[in-house]
Amino acid sequence: MKTLSLSRPWAARMLTLASLAVLGACGKGNTASATPNDGGVVIGPEAIAVVKMDTIESGPVVQGTITPTREAKIRAQVGGSVLRTMVEQGERVEAGATLAQVDDRVFKDAYLAAKAQFSSAQNAADQASRELSRAQRLLKEGAIAERDAENATRADLAAKAALDDAKSRLASNEENLSRAKIAAPFGGVVSERAVSAGDVVAPGAAMFTVIDPTSMRLEAAVPAEQLGQVRIGAPVKFVVNGYGGRKFVGRVVRVNPSADPVTRQVRVYAEIPNEARAGSAPLVGGLFAEGRIASSTRAGLMVPANAVDQRGVAAKVLRLKDGKVEQLSVELGLHDKVAETYEVKAGLSAGDTLLVGAAQGISPGTAVRVTRTGDQPAAPKTN
């Protein structure tokens, strides 16, 4: 049997093609890719981080809900048909502004009757007082019997009692008449309107909700074991869903004196100034917020959490120096869980370049090049 043999040039060409195919297959789907020119690894700028001095904050992580500091749920105090409403949801109102009018004809009639009764009782009391004065004068002169003076005294007392009763009835009917007009207790924004013209309401029925948007508060919970890190006046820094990562700052104003019996967490309340900024919307109530109570703050070297390997006994990082990867042990300090960073107390210097994320899979001693926008090779920042 004959053996098929290939010429040397053809065999060399096939071997080269096979080698390129293997290298191409290995490079697919990886952040770091091999470069046949120099045997190094090419990574993008997203695979590195520079060690820098920054402010480090630590404290209990909190999650909670944004609520208005001042909120009034306005309910009907008298029953009747709603004649008209003057405001819509989202409309700003001043303190005392009329929100709606309940049919007040019955209350107005009762008020007018009570007012007439009061006037009559006032006249009767004035007359009885004059009769008593005259009787007392005549008694001193001996012109009338003592019994007549006593009758004048009893009539005066009865007239005064009737006047007090009439005054009380007038005040009660006047209050009922005023309650038919639904007014804003303070200046703010109407967040809810539960009635419309023509609705019939009973005493206690929900009608409006008015909030003061100038100041909001964060209601959050802190584990009992971290309560010692919470103090009145401590800053609370957080982000709110729907605000694109915008950071808000409030201050702790109250701590609930008892823990939740189920979760063993303690409620804390932080007030938040809510002034509208140019180009940004103010906070609204009911949104979810997440942040941290800053109980400790200091300056130090900061590195991203995804640059630190803590699988071993000592924390390690991969530093890029003189175009090659080297592994270093570092001493960690505070952990900022919100910013996802660590303080490095020893082992690194400001300006060091570290590999982060998937680039940490590169072996120490490997040559590495960093590309920039446009895939132009650039030497990494080294020390």
Rg of the Cα trace of the chain? Answer: 41
**pLDDT-derived band at 25, boundaries 50, 70, 90:** very low
Full 3-state SS string of 151-183: HHHHHHHHHHHHHHHHHHHHHHHHHHHHHCEEE
On the question of pLDDT at 348 being above 80, the answer is yes
- Least confident piece of the model among 24-33, 80-89, 203-212: 24-33
**pLDDT-derived band at 103, boundaries 50, 70, 90:** very high
pLDDT at 360: 83
* 53 Cβ contact partners less than 8 Å away, ≥ 6 residues apart: 299, 300, 301, 302, 350
Question: Which CATH architecture group holds 79-102+180-211?
Answer: Beta Barrel (2.40)
Average pLDDT, the chain: 83
Average pLDDT on 270-290 reads 77
On the question of pLDDT at 5 being above 70, the answer is no
On the question of pLDDT at 28 being above 80, the answer is no
pLDDT at 338: 67
On the question of pLDDT at 249 being above 50, the answer is yes
On the question of pLDDT at 233 being above 60, the answer is yes
How far apart CA 223 and CA 221 sit, in angstroms, is 7
Q: Please check whether the two domains, 33-57+298-378 and 104-177, share a CATH topology.
A: no
pLDDT at 6: 37
pLDDT at 35: 44
**pLDDT-derived band at 375, boundaries 50, 70, 90:** low
Q: Where are the domains of the chain?
A: 33-57+298-378, 61-69+212-294, 79-102+180-211, 104-177
Q: What is the CATH number of domain 104-177?
A: 1.10.287
pLDDT at 373: 56
Q: What letter does residue 379 receive in the DSSP assignment?
A: P
pLDDT at 209: 95
Q: C-alpha angle 107/112/116, rounded to 5°? A: 145
pLDDT at 10: 34
**pLDDT-derived band at 280, boundaries 50, 70, 90:** low
- Identify the bridge partners of residue 183 per DSSP, sorted by sequence position: 98
pLDDT at 39: 55
Q: Percent of the chain having pLDDT more than 90?
A: 40
On the question of pLDDT at 12 being above 60, the answer is no
On the question of pLDDT at 32 being above 90, the answer is no
Question: Which CATH architecture group holds 61-69+212-294?
Answer: Beta Barrel (2.40)
- Least confident piece of the model among 31-45, 107-121, 289-303, 360-374: 31-45
On the question of pLDDT at 61 being above 90, the answer is no
pLDDT in tens, 191-231: 999 999 999 999 999 999 999 888 889 999 888 888 888 88
Q: What letter does residue 47 receive in the DSSP assignment?
A: G
- Identify the bridge partners of residue 75 per DSSP, sorted by sequence position: 206
Q: What is the CATH number of domain 33-57+298-378?
A: 2.40.420.20
Average pLDDT on 256-277 reads 84
